[in-house]
Structures are given as structure tokens and as C-alpha cells.
Structure 1
Amino acid sequence: MALKDKLEAVLNVGLRVPSIMLLEILYRWDVSSFFQKIQRSSLNNNPLFQYKYLALYLHYVGYILSLVLLTLPRQHLVKLYLYVLTALLLFTYIHTDFILDYVRSELDSGYEEPLYLEPLSMNRFSTALLAQLVVCTLCSCVMQTKRVWLFSAHLLPLVARLCLVPLETIVFINRFAMIFTGLEVIYFLASNLLVPYNLAKTAYRELVQVVEVYGLLALGMSLWNQLVLPVLFMCFWLVLFALQIYSYFSSRDQPTSRERLLFLFLTSIAECCSTPYSLLGLVFTVSFVALGVLTLCKFYLQGYRAFMNDNTMHRGMTEGITLLILAVQTGLIELQVIHRAFLLSIILFIVVASILQSMLEIADPIVLALGASRDKSLWKHFRAVSLCLFLLIFPAYMAYMICQFFLMDFWLLIIISSSILTSLQVLGTLLIYILFMVEEVRKEPVQNMDDVIYYVNGTYRLLEFLVALVVVAYGVSETVFGEWTVMGSTIIFIHSYYNVWLRAQLGWQSFLLRREAVNKIKSLPTASDLQLKKYNDICAICYQDMKSAVITPCSHFFHAGCLKKWLYVQETCPLCHKQLKSQSQPANATAVPAQDILPANPNPAEAGQGEPVAVAAEGDKTVTQNGVPVEGSQASPSANPNLELEGKAEEYALGPQQADTVDSVYLEGQVAGLSQGSGESCLRHRQPQQSASSPAAATSTACGAEL
């Protein structure tokens, strides 16, 4: 963004802040109490204050004016502020009676001779002339006009004094200058009287066109982006808060203690959320503060790389919406300042707990990925571990402080439970990170590492479930034996459903899937050394050599641990996607005789270039392409000679080179015959080296993503 665009954006926000301030003042202004004070004062006899309804109408006109200032386009808003600034300069100069004071000083002195003969008269004249020239120059610069004479009417008394006009006449000249300036202002207002009407008419026409073409939602989004409402309300609230702090310290002579500063901070925030406008300002301020904290967290963990793949979920809006819902539900703006500060402290604790949870959501995948990688950077590991330690200690400290300062009730128990859950989740993340680092240090991988990680996750998930159960039990007991409220019952119901029922259901389903996967692995036969030697292939999931393996019903070999991870996700074979069901046969029984299992990588020279390796056998043959059964590939044993003869016929008809091309297309990928039962054979052609896009690679990638 260019510097000009940045300045325009700042100007767009800064010029609209006074409109929100005016709305705040009008909301706080009590018209009835204002007129009661006037009736008790000497202004009661003034005809202007006799009409109460006129003041009420002016009150509503103020609201309309504020909304107009809020929605006015930036170009017209700049012009309006320039006009107002010029009017203030003229009004200030007239109101101070600077020229009139000069004329009175000259009358009192009685000196009517040339100015240069009297030093005092010359000094008074020079001061008045310099002040008038400054005002004229400022007004012409603000109005961007070269007609300086429009603002020079008050120079007439000075010119008259320079021309030795009698002092009594100079008084009338000064009055004429004031009347002339007033007439100029009236003429300007009259000539621009229809400007607001024309602007409103143009705006209404554009709004109707936008609504007809794009709809109300597009109109609302356009106004939201044009007015930059979140930034506008945040700036308004910060100005309000700064004024509150300044008014406090300007009335205090003694230094404030640390406890007093905390109380001052809470009471100032409570004073600055007594209206709907200031409450919205606080909501957007909290959202931007949360966004800043989460952005710093990302930057601390990943540096500038964090801004390349930014997550749209962590924008701080969750914390702001939480504050708004709690403030509206508890009637925050209707309370007294002390009660509002007390309630606001509890709400801010909830917001801080939500920010800590969002920080954990950011840090958890980064820490685990760092532990599983081979990155040796100590600085990266230090940043990750230090942030996790902060997220482990600070929520526990916050829960301790809540217990120290407040009496325990259901709402505070929810805050404390949220802090405890955050600490438990961080503890589980750190334990898994330590396990990954231990596995990295060891030369050989840790056996059953997935089971250990599952048990760690299951332990802290169980602790989370117990904490949620305690919160529900406390809330139910408080509702039954204490004061019953609709809001409390609703919170208990929502908490019971999401944090108790859904967690219990999810945990039980995970346990059942794991137990079923273990039973399936135990039911599969284990491959013997002879079978592994004849199979002569790697595990299609992890791409590692197989010293031990299990055999699926579709005669595919996998590591038992790799296949178990796959079965946690889905109950199909990773290669052919056939359904895997538990078998009742013993675990050590072999599904296929050793003589029927062909090598996975046969020598192409023995089989012939471009021709499939065929072994005569009985039973059906299933041809697969890239690990997936090809439709219509079932054939009887008698069909094999026909396939071979058709290949030869194509070779003689097309020529050797074209026949090789047809064979390479026909045999692209993996063509595997999957035998079922003993005595069946396989029709298989395997490439010497498996490509990166093979079905095993896809299977391994999918398995890793799911795990």
C-alpha cells in the first residue's frame, strides 16, 4: 500500500471518530434533567428555553447529524471539516473581540496623530495587523481560495486608523466589518442550502441501484468495508479510555499504588462501556488485542513464514463475540460502575482463557511437527517448548488467582475448568513431543510408539472428560439446591452435550475402532520367511523392508503395525480396497501356500520384454491396475491362451514397434492377479522400480494424513 493510500485510510477513520463521540454524548445526555437544572437557574426566563419539545427535536437532529457524518463519503467529509474549521477561526476571532479591543485602546489613549510618532500606538497596530493577517491566511489556505479579501473585512478598522480617520468613525467601521462577515457566512449557507438534499438524493439513488443489482447483503458488506467500522470503533474507544485516564490523573496529586492502578484500570474500562457505542468499541478493541496476541504467537513460533500460510480461523473475532454475548446477557451497561467493574473482570478472565486456547490451537501442530521432523535448530525447539511451558503455567496461575479473589460459583468453575483443560492439553502435547524426540535420538524406532501416543492422548482426554463431568455435576447441584435460572440451565445443557456426551461418544468410538483393528491384525496369518523371500517386496505403506509381515485375504503383505494404523481409519485393503473382515483361523496359519506366491519383482528378461508373466493355474484370475481391480477382468482359465494369441496377432498385424507400444500401454502400472484359496495362481507384471505416484505412495500418504 502506497503512502497516499495509508494517509487516506487514516484520514477516513480519524474524520469519522467525532461522529461516534457525538453519538456517545447524545446517548449520555439526559434532556429531562437538563431542563430541570435550567428551571432552577436564572436561564428559566430566557425564551429559548421555554420550549422543551424544541430541545427534544434538536436532540434527535443531533442523532441524524451524527449518522450523516458517519456515512458521508470521504471527499465531502473533508470539505465539511474544512468549512467547520474556517467557521471556527472566524468565530474565535470575532468572539475574542480582538479588533474591538484595539479600537477601545485607541479611544482610551485619545491619540489621533500618525502611528509612527507614538511607539505604544505602533505596537498595538502591529499586533492587531499581524493577528488579522494570520487569520486571513489560514482561512484562505483552508478554503483553498486565492480571494483573501473575503476574510479581510476586519482589516478595515486598521486601514482607517492608518489613514488618520477619527476614532469615533473607526467604531462604526468595525461594526460594518462584523456585519459584512456575518452576511458572507449567511450567503455561503444560503447558496449551499440544497447541498445536503442533493447528497441525500444521490445517495438514495445509488443505494436503490445497489440493492436492486446486488442485494442488501452486498450493500451491508460495502458499507462495512468503506467505513472500516471495527477500526473506527476501536479508535473511538481508545480515545475515550485515554480521556478517562487523563481526567483521573489530572485530578490526582499523589502517586498511585500498584493495587490502585489495577482498580483504576478496571474502573476506567467499566466507565468506557456504559453505552452501546462504547461497548461495541470495547468488543472490537478486545478483538484486535486478541488478534495481535495470536499474531505475535505465530511470529514467535515460525517467524515471517507464519504470515505466508495464515489461518483465517484465528482472527480474534471469537473473543470479541464472547465478550459481547456475555455483556448483553448479564446486562453490563445497566449496572453501576463498581458492579460493572467486578463483572467485567470475570468476563475478561473468560476472554483471556479463550485467547490461551487459541494460542494452544496454533502451537500444538507446530510443536508436534517440530518433534517429528529432523530439524536440529535449537532456537526453534526453544521457542516451541518455552511457549508450551507458558501455556502450561499461566492458565494454572490464572485459575489460582480466580480462586483467591472470587467466591466459587458455577460461572467461575467454568473459567477454572477451561484453564485446567488448557494446561492438560499442553501437558499432553509436551509428552508427545518428548516421545518424538526420544525416538529421534535412538538409532532404532521405538516399538509400539503409536500405542504409547494413543495412551497419552487417551489419558489426558479422560482427564478432560472428568473435569467436564465435575463441572456438570456442580452446575446441576447448584441448580437443584440453589437458585434456578434459565440461562444457567441452558449453559448446563450445552456444556453437558458438547463437553460430556460428545466427548464420551467420540472416545468410545475410538476405543471400539482400535480394538477391532487389533482383533483383525491378530486374525490375519503371519508370513513365513519363505513367503517373504518369494514375495521380495517392501511394505506398500511405509516403503520399508519387511522382516515380518501379515497377509491379507487378498494376498497382500504389510507390516502389522502399518496395517493397524490403516485399519484405524478404514476397513479396506490399502492396495485393492477390498473389505477386510476378521477371520476365525489361527494367527500363524498361512493363507496361501508358499509355492503359489510369486516374486514381486520378476526378472523382465525371463518373462520377455513387454509381455506379462503367466503361470497356469486353476481358479479365477483378477486383473488389477494400480492396485484397483479392473472391471471385467474376471476370466476363466481357458481364456489365458486366447489372451496370448490376441497379443501375438496384434504383434504380427501392427509390427514389432507398434506392438511394443500396445503392450506398454496395456501393462502400464501394476497388473496383479489376486488369488483366493489354495491352488490359485497370479497373473502379475511389476515394474522394476516403483514410481512415486504408485498406489503404495498414495496409500502411505493417505494413511499418514489420517493418522
Structure 2
Amino acid sequence: MMGPFKVKREYLLASVCVILRVPSLFIMEMWFRTDPEKAIESHAVDPGPTEFVTTGVYYSILAFALTVLLMPLRKLVSLYMYIVSLLLILMAHHLSQIYVEMEIVETQTYIFTDNSALKRLGLHLTLQCIIAALIAYLIDITSWKRFVLLIYTLPLVARIAGIPFDVFEHLHHFCSLFTLILIMLFLFNNIGFALDIVKENIIRWKALGDAIGWVSLLFTAWHTILLPIQFLVFWIVLFCSQLYVYMMRTPISLSQEGWLLFVLACVGECCATPISLIALCVTIAYASYYILTLTRLYLQGWNAFTADQDVMRGWTEGFTMMLIAVQTGLLDLKPLQRAFLMCVLLFIVASSLIQSMYEMAEPILLSLSASHNKNIFKHVRAIILFTFLWLFPLYMTYSICQYFDLDFWLLVIMSSCLLTSVQVVGSLVIYTLFMYDGIRTDPWESLDDIVYYTRSFVRILEFVVAVFVVCYGMKESILGEWSWINSSILIIHCYFNVWQRLQSGWKTFLLRREAVKKLESLPTATEEQIQTYNDVCPICYQSLLAAKITPCGHFFHATCLKKWLYVKDTCPMCHKKLHESAEESGNSAEDGPPQNVNIPEDNEDNFSEAESEVSNQGAEGESSEGNSDA
């Protein structure tokens, strides 16, 4: 019983921590949106003292917000107790003012002869007593001091005593002045306590920073005070409020401009300061995380969802949004310009998210076909998802071309979307090949070659598109307007998307050519030798209809052995060098296999190592990456 109770308590504490700290983010948001120079210019007669006071108050508000954000939860709860008590005092003040105004305007008779006035008196007296009791409970006031909180009952007592109505307003002002003096005395007596809290926070965080390092301290604070969730809640509330304001201010714009531009305008307005921009990036990261998690849940079911522990999924999109927003100067733009730029930024984020979805879903799709999974619903779900993944980037590319003219930046973004569609189509082709191989009755020896050619065709398309983008960028830099940003992007694009692709493709080609040469140098087993061997392939455990014989006398499928040769130049069974040719091994291959070709006792370890090496061959050559499971 204690386990669920502890879990609920942790969730409750986390919720309280987030709810109590989120207002500090709103304070910092308003702080960034406020310009203190305007207040100073409005008092241009004597700007000296005004500038000093305004600057002090301005930065004191920021210090207060940071203190609320970082202080321990227990002291934060105490602070909110005082804030709620202050709000209750203001409520008592407002109720007293309402009562005085109503008594002066509506009645001029004795209290005990007017039934409505008597009810009104009882109601206000009850409310004032309840408010005083709540304040005494929240800030722990005991003994006779709690009766001071009933100061706003003086107009009620005066009404019972029959004091003239002209005095009521003066009594109300006296109560307000007396309460204000008490609040000032309380603040003056506790200002040292408040400064001690700030000092204690600074010392505590500084000690932690010196002990574990400032980078580790940043990550510790990030998770301890649940800062990502605070930013998420803050931005959602900010966006909803901005959406409500826009709808109330311009209710016709939604039907005239369309919902997309309307939402983009709201999103652009909700990233006008560094705080709201960080909150937007965190919100995008959380949205990407849940989309990718739901994608995995859609493909693999609840078991894969519960076993998944990748908590960093989705943060790539958030960091991408932050970097591009800072690079393009999003905060310095006007609201309309920010809304149009937000369209491009969200397009880039969506492209990155589609790519992440594809990278996560591709192994699942290929494993369904390579393992010949007979669950038809899993295959249908995977095909529907991949159909969406190659159609949606094309739709996004078409949509953005309707609003913007083609330039270098837009070409880079569009090429990324188009390459994602090409990769998805290539994976679907390989999936189809594996499915066809599953329904064949005899082994498909050339499957590995066809998969390699399919992947090579996709890589060549990617390389051609990357080269085209580089050429277009060089043309823009030479004939158009040159800039450091475009040149930097061009260099990065040329290195990662052209040079590294060229190196990887050439290395894969050399590895495959070398493996084919080694395989062709080995003799092919005859039917008599296969019948004499009378066993399965030690790598894939399938029957041997055709086989290659190693110099050490072991039999393997040609395709399986070729996959192994991508990684190692040894026999998968005994680990002898295969390039030791017939000079050392004699005519053992021609004379047939050894009489004793029993599988060694450690065959399971050899098979496991072989399968592990083959399945990881993508690190050396992408050509047989998806075929290792077959």
C-alpha cells in the first residue's frame, strides 16, 4: 500500500512545484516586455531620482522572479501563504468598501428596523470573520494578535452603534491606513529574512556549482525544479490566452485569413522574448516526443511503449528550433515578420520530425518482412505509416512553395523533405523484396545484390540532390548577395551531405567488391559434397542447396558468407584466415570435405558471434544493412 501512496505523493509534490513556480516565468516574461526607459522619459523634469528608483525596481522584480523559481519548495509554500494572505486582505478591503457605499446610498434608517440592512450586516460580518480566520491560519498568527485582522469590521460596528453615515467612509479609510501600516511594519521587520533567503539560495547554488560543476548544476536544476514542465505549462497558458485575445479582438480574421495564418500569428506573438522562445522550443520537444512515442505505440503496441526508456527522444527538434530562431534573429522581428518566419521554422521542425519518425520506423518495417511476421495488421499499420511518411513531405514542399520564392535556404529545406520521401520509398521497395523472398519456395540467392542496388540507387539520388544544392548555393554566393551565414551553411552542407556521403559510398563499394572477390576465390560445393555434409548453413540455419567451401572445410551459403566477409576475413566457424589459399590448405577442397566435419562444441558461440557481426555490418557497409535479419 505504501508504494502507490508514495507515487501519488511524488506526483502531488511535482504538481505543486510546477504550479507554484510557473508564475515566476510570467513575471520574467512581463519583465522582458517592459521598457524602463519609457517610464524614465515620462518624468523628464527630474530624471535622476526617477531613473534610480525605476532601475532598482525593474531589476528587483527580476531578482524576485529568479528567487521564486529557485527557492526550496517548503519556503516557496510559505511565500505563497503570505501572498494569499495579502490577497485576502485586499478582498476584505474591497468588501468593506462595498458595504460602506451600499449603506450610504441605499439606507438611512436604524439597523434593527431594516430587515435587508440587517441581513447585509450579517453577511459582511460573517465574510470578514472568515477572511480574518483564514489569514490567521495561513500565516500562523496566535493569541490576541489575530483580532487585529478584524479591523475592517469597524464600519459594521459603527452601523450597529448607530453612528452617522458620514463617518463610515472615514472609518473605512482609517482601516485601510491601519492595515497598510501593519503591512509596512511586517515587511520592514522581515526584510532581513527575505534577504537571508536570497543569500541562502545564492550560497546553496554556488556550493553545488563548485562541487559538481556548473554544467552538471544546470542539468540538476533543470530536472530538480521540473523546469521543462514549467516551460511547457507556461507556453500553453500563454498561447491559449493569446489565442483568446486575438479571437476577441479580431473575430473576423479567422474566416478571412484562414486558421493556419491565425495560429502562426499567435505562435509568433508567443515567442517575442527569450523566456517564451525557450518555452516554445521545450513545447516543440515535448510534442515531438509524444508524436514519436505514439508512432512506436502504433507500430509495436503497448509492450514496446512500456519497455521504451528513451527520454531524450524529441529534443533534437527542440534544439533545432532554438538554433534556427537565434540564427535568424527571430526575437528582433516585428510581429507580422515573425509570423511568416515562424512558418519556415515550423516547416524545418516538421521535416526533422518526419525524418526522426522514419529512422525509428524503418527497422520495425524491415524486421516485419525479414522475419516473415504473419500478423497482417502489423504490416497494414506499417504500410499506412510509411505511405504517410513519403506523401506528407511532398505536400509540405508543395505548400511552402505557394508562399515563398525559391532561394538557397528554401532549397536546402525542400531537399531535406524530398530526400526523406526518397528514403521512405526505398525502404518500401526493400520491404517488398523481403516479402517476396518470404513467399518463395526456394532461396533467392540474388536478394542481397538487389537490396544493395536499391540502397545504392537511393544513396546516389541523395548525393545528386546534395551536389545540386551545393552548386545552387555557390551560384547564389557568386552571382547573388554573399553572406557569412549562407557561406557557413554551404560549407557545412558540402562537408556532411556531399563529402561524407561520397566517402561512405566509396568505402561501401570497396568493401563489397573485396568481399565478392574473396567469395569468388572459394570453390563451390558439388551436389555430392552437399549430400555428404548433410547439415544446415551454420549462419542462417537453413538447408544447403548450394554452398561455398572455405579452405578449412566448412560449408556456408554464398550470401551468408558474403555478409560475413564485409566484416571479417576469417571463417565464421574456426576463425582461420580465408585468404590462405590452396597452397597452404592443399587440395582439401577438391578431395571433398574432411571426414569429420562435425560442428565444434562452441558452435553456438561462433553462430552468435557470426549473427552479431552480420547484423552490425551496417557500421562498415550499408549495402546489406536491412538484409541481415533474412
TM-score by length of 1: 0.79
* Matched residue SS, 1:546: coil
Matched to 2:70, the amino acid is T
Q: Does 1:98 align with 2:98?
A: yes
- Residue 600 (structure 1) aligned with residue 583 (structure 2): no
The Cα of 1:319 is off from its aligned counterpart by 0.8
Q: 2:15 aligns with which of 7, 10, 18?
A: 10
| Alignment of structure 1 residues 534-613 onto 2, 5 Å | 534-581=532-579, 591-594=588-591, 597-601=594-598
Contact 1:323 1:347 in 2 (8 A): yes
**3-state SS in 1 of match to 2:402:** helix
Residue 20 of structure 1 aligns with an amino acid whose one-letter code is L
Give the 3 Å change call, closer, same or farther, for CA 244–37 of structure 1 in structure 2.
farther
Cα 1:584/1:434, change in 2 over 3 Å: same
The alpha-carbon distance between structure 1 residues 267 and 38, as it changes in their structure 2 partners (threshold 3 A), is farther
Match in the other structure for 1:638: none
Q: What residue is the counterpart of 2:124 in the other structure?
A: 128
Partner Cα separation in structure 2 for residue 292 and residue 592 of structure 1: 58
**Is the helix fraction higher in 1 or 2?**
2
Computed over aligned residues only, the root mean square deviation of the Cα atoms, in angstroms, reads 3.0
Cα distance in 2 for residues equivalent to 1:125 and 1:141: 24
Which residue in 2 is equivalent to 1:32? 37
Q: 1:207 to 1:447 in 2, by over 3 A?
A: closer
Question: Bigger CA drift: 348-357 or 571-580?
Answer: 571-580
- Superposed displacement of residue 150, structure 1: 3.5
Counterpart Cα distance in 2 of 1:595 and 1:471: 57
The count of aligned residue pairs is 608
For residues 617-670 of structure 1, give each alpha carbon's deviation from its aligned partner in whole angstroms, at most 9, with x where no partner exists. Answer: xxxxxxxxx96xxxxxxxxxxxxxxxxxxxxxxxxxxxxxxxxxxxxxxxxx37
Counterpart of 1:618 in structure 2 is none
Name the CA distance, whole Å, in 1 between partners of 2:345 and 2:305: 30
Return the alpha-carbon distance in structure 1 between the equivalents of residues 385 and 420 of structure 2: 13
CA distance 1:299–1:202, shift in 2 (3 Å): same
SS at match of 1:194: helix
Kindly provide the amino acid, as one letter, of the partner of residue 63 in structure 1.
Answer: L
Cα 1:92–1:486 change in 2 (3 A) is same
- Tell me, in whole angstroms, the C-alpha distance in 1 between the residues paired with 2:167 and 2:493: 86
Contact between 2:43 and 2:50, CA under 8 Å: does it hold in 1? no
1:84-233 mapped onto 2 (5 Å cutoff): 84-94=83-93, 97-101=97-101, 104=104, 109=108, 111=109, 113=110, 115-119=111-115, 121-143=117-139, 149-164=147-162, 177-233=175-231
Label 1:256 to 1:596 Cα distance change in 2 as closer, same or farther (>3 A): closer
Separation of aligned partners in 1, 2:124 and 2:39:
40
Q: 1:279 to 1:166 in 2, by over 3 A?
A: closer
Q: Report the Cα offset of residue 80 of structure 1.
A: 1.5
1:487 alignment counterpart = 485
1:335–1:9 Cα change, 3 Å:
same
CA offsets per residue over residues 165-223 of structure 1, 9 Å max, x none?
Answer: 66677777656544543443344334423211332343344335434543333432322
Q: Deviations over 1:284-335 (max 9, x none)?
A: 1111111121111111111212224426386211111111111111111111
Against the structure 1 CA distance between its residues 701 and 5, is the aligned structure 2 distance closer, same or farther, given a 3 Å change threshold? Answer: closer
Is this contact kept in 2: 1:541–1:558, CA < 8 A? yes
Matching residue's letter, 1:98: I
In the aligned structure 2, how far is the partner of 1:509 from the partner of 1:32? 62
Gaps of 5+ in 1: 602-625, 628-668, 671-690
Residue 101 of structure 1 aligns with an amino acid whose one-letter code is: E
Output the CA distance in 2 between the equivalents of 1:412 and 1:456: 28
The gaps in structure 2 that reach 5 residues or longer are: 1-5, 618-627
1:356 Cα deviation after fit: 0.1
CA distance, structure 2, for counterparts of residue 327 and residue 489 of structure 1: 18
**Is the CA contact 1:267–1:341 (under 8 Å) kept in the aligned structure 2?**
yes
Which SS does the other structure have where 1:192 is aligned? helix
Q: Distance in 1 between matches of 2:353 and 2:73?
A: 36
SS in 1 for 2:421: helix
- Looking at structure 2, the residues matched to 70 and 85 of structure 1 have their Cα atoms a distance apart, in angstroms, of 18
Q: Which has the higher contact order (CA 8 A, sep 6+)?
A: 2
Measured after TM superposition, the shift of residue 357 of structure 1 is: 0.1
Structure 1 segment 130-529 matched on structure 2, within 5 A: 130-143=126-139, 149-164=147-162, 177-254=175-252, 256-257=254-255, 259-310=257-308, 312=310, 315-529=313-527
Q: CA deviation at 1:51?
A: 2.5
- Amino acid corresponding to residue 76 of structure 1 in structure 2: K
Conserved? CA contact 1:541–1:699, under 8 Å: yes
How far off its partner does 1:507 sit? Answer: 1.2
1:700 offset after TM fit, Å?
A: 4.0
- Amino acid across the alignment from 2:264: L
Q: Distance in 2 between matches of 1:446 and 1:218?
A: 54
Cα 1:56/1:361, change in 2 over 3 Å = same
Structure 1 SS opposite 2:493? helix
Residues of 2 paired with 1:304 and 1:170: CA distance?
Answer: 69
One-letter amino acid matched to 2:93: I
Instruction: Measure, in 2, the Cα distance between the counterparts of 1:504 and 1:165.
Output: 96
CA contact (8 A) 1:26 1:63 kept: yes
**TM-score with structure 2 length normalisation?**
0.88
Deviation at 1:705, TM superposition (A): 4.4
Matches for 1:43-82 after TM superposition, within 5 Å: 51-82=50-81
Q: d(CA) in 2 for partners of 1:212 and 1:290? A: 35
Secondary structure at 2:301's aligned position in 1? helix
* SS of structure 1 residue aligned to 2:258: helix
**2:610 aligned with 1:699, yes or no?**
yes
The DSSP-based 3-state class of the residue aligned with 2:441 is coil
Which region of structure 1 is more displaced relative to structure 2, 373-382 or 163-172?
A: 163-172
CA, structure 1 residues 294+538, in 2 after alignment: closer, same or farther (shift >3 Å)? closer
Instruction: For 2:510, give the aligned amino acid.
Output: L
> Percent identity at matched positions?
38
- In 2, are the aligned partners of 1:241 and 1:268 still within 8 Å (CA)? yes
- The answer to whether the 8 A contact 2:553-2:597 is kept is no
How much has 1:131 moved relative to structure 2? 3.9
| 1:694 Cα deviation after fit | 4.8
